[in-house]
Chains A and B, each alone.
Chain A
Amino acid sequence: MRDFLRNPAGLVGLCLLSIVIGAALFGPWLAPYDPQQFHPKTRLQGPSWDFWLGTDQYGRDLLSRILNGAPSTVFFGIGSTALGVGVGSVIGVIAGVAGGRTDSVIMRVLDGLLAMPELLFTLLIVTFLGGGTTQAMLAVAVTFAPGMARIARSSVLSVRTREYVMAATARGESRAWIVGREVLPNALGPIIVEATIRVSFAIMIGATLGFLGLGAQPPSTEWGLMVAEARQFMFRNPWCVAVPGLAIAFTAMGFNLFGDALRDAFDPKRSR
């Protein structure tokens, strides 16, 4: 942990992340206004004493909308990643441990899925499932699974041929012990690190879906949707696009930096 804090990227990531998580947990209570309340006289205004981050085309307070949107946006990122990583790594570990024909069949199917661009694949799934937050989350999770399976598999494969695993096999350990105690604990590091980095992708894909009108529906305060809705008024008040855009960027950056630092800290040889 001390090493983690000494790493400047990790420190910045941790700060950004605590702000974002704080906003996600307490945002709705901190918001000065009702996020849906119209202020017809003060539409599309820049930051002022009354509205710290300005207002949108209906005169709604941007700060309140951002704070209210935080839980759903962050939850979307974490939820879809957890789902995708969970499913993906189970598939990957099975493929890696089983080897042989099972491995080939699973991996060829996943290769097929991976051949499709991530966003296109998500759009395809959303088209099947219909728009909405839950559907978008599922779509992102399904998109993530093949990539995660590949990472989990390669991680398992690199551990599987280590001598301590061979030693366990030579000892006559059961398969469950070898997978659970010898392989998995050592293969988990890359998976967890990749997962944190993917949270930021998930948030961005979620925002994209929102922007395209396939994710959350108005009047939701989801950040991507906010950018989409305010797009036409961008030249009259740049703040209503910049604010949610920056919020997305900060969150993504926070998770990214945190993930990078986690990768360094996860190496057991580095921690003392």
Chain B
Amino acid sequence: MTTRPVLDVQDYSLAYDTPEGEVMALKSVSLAIRPGETHALVGESGSGKSTLAWAIMRYLPDNARDVSGRIALSGEPLLGKTLPQMEALRGKRIAMVFQDPSSSLNPTMRMGEQIAEVLMRHRGMDKAAAWTEAEAALARTGIQRPAEMMQRFPHEASGGEKQRVVIATAFACNPELIIFDEPTTALDILTAQQILDLFLRLRQETGVAALYISHDLGLVARIADTVSVIHQGEIVESGPVHQVFRAPKDAYTRALMAAVPRPDERIAVPEPAPARPLLQVQGISVRYGADGWLTRLLGKESVPFYGARDVSFQVHPGELLGLVGASGSGKSTMAQVVSGLRDFTGTVQFGGRDFTARGDFDRAYRRDVQIVFQHPDSSLNPRQTIGTILSRPLRLYRLCPPAKVADRVRELLEMVLLPPEFASRYPHQLSGGQKQRVAIARAFAAEPRLVICDEITAALDVSVQAAVARLLTDLQRKSGAACLFITHDLNLIRQLAHRIAVMQRGQVVDSFDVADANSPDRHPYTRALLDAVPLAEEFQGVTA
């Protein structure tokens, strides 16, 4: 291997000047990407992986400072390049694909113009030539009718289509290096799968070098040639993917790998004894966007859109039911129905009582059914201390005498493995995982019979995810509460759940015991979902 690396980062350090002093974001980072190689950069949020991407693009905030080292693109040093020089380079020699396709495209420009713009800017084409070339670029990404797609605005395309447009733009000028910043995280499992296939195909066709930033180790194992694991701004381990994952040397890498959910490693509570269902949801439908009275008066009735249609499932006492589906399939809608946040038609039966409207849910029901939300940052009131937040259910449901509230709050914090002095802190002083623990403690403080977990691990890092999942089953074991766990992560839910219900476009299409996940009579959609997330063999049996 004597070829000159496309990207060569040597001993690069970067610091941010903040009011609290200098913060080192990257510490003496070195990595090299050879032509045609895909190098994965794996790390958790805040590890500095995106900072490195921006440092390579030379697009850093004013308070960032290069401390030492060098970054070179095909031997040409990038540090010290002027802005016009960098502008000529960006998009032409280094391209970037972002996480969220819906915010990386300009909503006021037709998608065709956005690809053509890059071609006109960097390849000096006139409008007609750029347009033809853009269409060809789009066709290469496997979009059905590229000419038609070019005329559309971003909001008229699906997430997968938009990401294809972004990728087409990135590949348009045949760059030497493309930086992918979690390009599939914001997409559905199945769409993500297609985008990955596309990436692999285009890489084969163009031989581009890629820096692939991700937190998903399973995914990285499938697509990358080499990998660097970054932790707190330092690269702790790097090398060929299979070598690193087969024999991880660093403790952090091992911890990260051990945290990847493995379906066959169950952490669920033991199967509860058969009993009458605790929660029975029957024929629930939720209609979104009902017409206003004026529209109805004018006789322009719109086509009804259902967030959920005739959904039925049941949860038995003490069990964990997984509700799985792509985004927009109606899983969160169901969580909101059961927790009394959304109007519905149908019947919710809970503990022998029937509820047919949102207004019927009384305080006793609301105490028995608690919900934990996806985003720990927004589910805790930023102006209340953790103590106030946790004491609220105790006071609201009068679960303990006022004098004992403080003690109980301390117990609750200990229950979720947080130090008792957190009671006087504010949510923004806690990390994401800690906040989610507080949210879980708040739910269990009410001593509920059913806890609804709406994607509670989705916003967390892999290692934190595993800990939170373990905590949840632990609390379930102690309290005997049932759980409705909503997720899109099939590997995780197969570790946790007793039964799984699969939703697609507002309907439950499949429902089965976890043990039967691989049986041949699964619904094709379930099959597709399961096949989309294979687990690399390297991950079997790794422990921290």
Residues of chain B from 331 to 368 with CB closer than 8 A to chain A in the complex:
336, 339-341, 361-363, 366-367
Pick out which of these stretches binds chain A: B36-44, B58-66, B375-383. Answer: B375-383
A170 at the binding interface (Cβ < 8 Å): yes
What B residues does A6 contact at CB under 8 A? 19
A171 at the binding interface (Cβ < 8 Å): yes
Q: Select A172's contact among B363, B374, B383, B384, beta carbons within 8 Å.
A: B363
B393 at the binding interface (Cβ < 8 Å): yes
Pick out which of these stretches binds chain B: A44-52, A158-166, A249-257. Answer: A158-166
Give the Cβ gap from B84 to chain A, nearest Cβ, in Å.
30
Q: Select B380's contact among A164, A169, A171, A181, beta carbons within 8 Å.
A: A164
Give the Cβ gap from B448 to chain A, nearest Cβ, in Å.
10
What A residues does B19 contact at CB under 8 A? 3, 6
Residues of chain A from 183 to 205 with CB closer than 8 A to chain B in the complex:
185-186
B370 at the binding interface (Cβ < 8 Å): yes
Residue of B nearest to A166 (CB): B341
Number of interface residues of A (CB under 8 A): 19
Contact A169-B341, Cβ < 8 Å, known A182-B381, A186-B382: yes
What B residues does A162 contact at CB under 8 A? 378
Contact A166-B373, Cβ < 8 Å, known A268-B426, A268-B428: yes
**Cα distance, A185 to B378, chains bound together (Å):** 15
B396 at the binding interface (Cβ < 8 Å): yes
What A residues does B393 contact at CB under 8 A? 171
Residues of chain A from 66 to 90 with CB closer than 8 A to chain B in the complex:
none
**Cα distance, A186 to B396, chains bound together (Å):** 21
B392 at the binding interface (Cβ < 8 Å): yes
B371 at the binding interface (Cβ < 8 Å): yes
Give the Cβ gap from B370 to chain A, nearest Cβ, in Å.
7
Residue of A nearest to B372 (CB): A167
Q: What is the total of A-B residue contacts with beta carbons within 8 Å?
A: 59
Are B382 and A163 interface neighbours, CB within 8 A?
no
Are A172 and B396 interface neighbours, CB within 8 A?
yes
Are A167 and B373 interface neighbours, CB within 8 A?
yes
Give the Cβ gap from B397 to chain A, nearest Cβ, in Å.
9
Contact A164-B366, Cβ < 8 Å, known A170-B339, A170-B341, A173-B396: no
**Cα distance, A164 to B375, chains bound together (Å):** 10
A41 at the binding interface (Cβ < 8 Å): no
Residues of chain B from 380 to 414 with CB closer than 8 A to chain A in the complex:
380-384, 392-393, 396
What A residues does B366 contact at CB under 8 A? 170-172
What B residues does A181 contact at CB under 8 A? 381, 384
Are A171 and B428 interface neighbours, CB within 8 A?
no
Are A268 and B373 interface neighbours, CB within 8 A?
no
What B residues does A167 contact at CB under 8 A? 371, 373, 379, 439, 442
**Cα distance, A186 to B341, chains bound together (Å):** 21
What A residues does B396 contact at CB under 8 A? 171-173
Residue of B nearest to A189 (CB): B383
Give the Cβ gap from A192 to chain B, nearest Cβ, in Å.
14
Residue of B nearest to A173 (CB): B396
Give the Cβ gap from A160 to chain B, nearest Cβ, in Å.
12
Give the Cβ gap from B17 to chain A, nearest Cβ, in Å.
13
Are A186 and B339 interface neighbours, CB within 8 A?
no
What B residues does A185 contact at CB under 8 A? 381, 383
Are B383 and A169 interface neighbours, CB within 8 A?
no
**Cα distance, A6 to B446, chains bound together (Å):** 44
Contact A186-B428, Cβ < 8 Å, known A6-B19, A169-B340: no
Contact A163-B379, Cβ < 8 Å, known A170-B366, A172-B366, A268-B426: yes
Q: Select B379's contact among A164, A169, A268, A272, beta carbons within 8 Å.
A: A164
Residues of chain A from 245 to 272 with CB closer than 8 A to chain B in the complex:
268-269, 272
**Cα distance, A164 to B374, chains bound together (Å):** 11
**Cα distance, A32 to B439, chains bound together (Å):** 64
Are A163 and B341 interface neighbours, CB within 8 A?
no
What A residues does B379 contact at CB under 8 A? 163-164, 167
Are A268 and B382 interface neighbours, CB within 8 A?
yes
Residue of B nearest to A269 (CB): B428
Are A163 and B373 interface neighbours, CB within 8 A?
yes
What A residues does B442 contact at CB under 8 A? 167
**Cα distance, A182 to B381, chains bound together (Å):** 7
**Cα distance, A268 to B381, chains bound together (Å):** 11
**Cα distance, A171 to B444, chains bound together (Å):** 12
Q: List 12 A-B contacts (CB under 8 A).
A: A3-B19, A6-B19, A164-B378, A167-B371, A167-B373, A170-B339, A172-B362, A172-B366, A173-B396, A182-B381, A186-B381, A268-B426
11 more CB-based (< 8 A) A-B contacts, given A167-B373, A170-B369: A164-B380, A164-B381, A171-B392, A171-B393, A172-B366, A173-B396, A181-B381, A186-B382, A268-B382, A269-B428, A272-B20
List the 5 closest A-B pairs by CB distance, nearest first.
A172-B366, A163-B379, A163-B373, A170-B339, A164-B381
Residues of B within 8 A of A (CB): 19-20, 336, 339-341, 361-363, 366-367, 369-371, 373-375, 378-384, 392-393, 396, 426, 428, 439, 442, 446
